[in-house]
Amino acid sequence: MSDTQARTAEQIEADIAAARARLASTVDELVDRAHPKNVAKRQVEQAKAQVFDERGQLRTQKIVAVGGAVVGVVAVLLLIRRLVGRR
């Protein structure tokens, strides 16, 4: 619609109603995204994606790497505890 054409009250009301509907839809989507249950569900899916591949098989390399890191951290903590305990 060009600037030279005057809009009728019905056209303005229709534009306002369309904008209101778009805003309501956007708010509903944001509420759905921010719902704690949905946030937790997305986090669980992300965690599963780290452990399982697309076929549902375990990603053993990642599991071994994480396990090795945990063992390393525990070993360092035990070593520090033993060294501090000698004093």
Q: What is the pLDDT of residue 48?
A: 87
Q: Residue 50 in contact with residue 62, Cβ under 8 Å?
A: yes
How confident is the prediction for the chain on average, in pLDDT? 90
Per-residue pLDDT of the chain (87 residues; tens, 9 = 90+): 555 578 999 999 999 999 999 999 999 999 999 999 999 999 999 988 888 888 888 888 888 998 999 999 999 999 999 999 876
pTM: 0.47
Other beta carbons within 10 angstroms of residue 59's beta carbon come to 14
Cα-to-chain-centroid distance, residue 58: 22
58, two tokens: 């375990």
pLDDT tens profile 63-78? 899 899 999 999 999 9
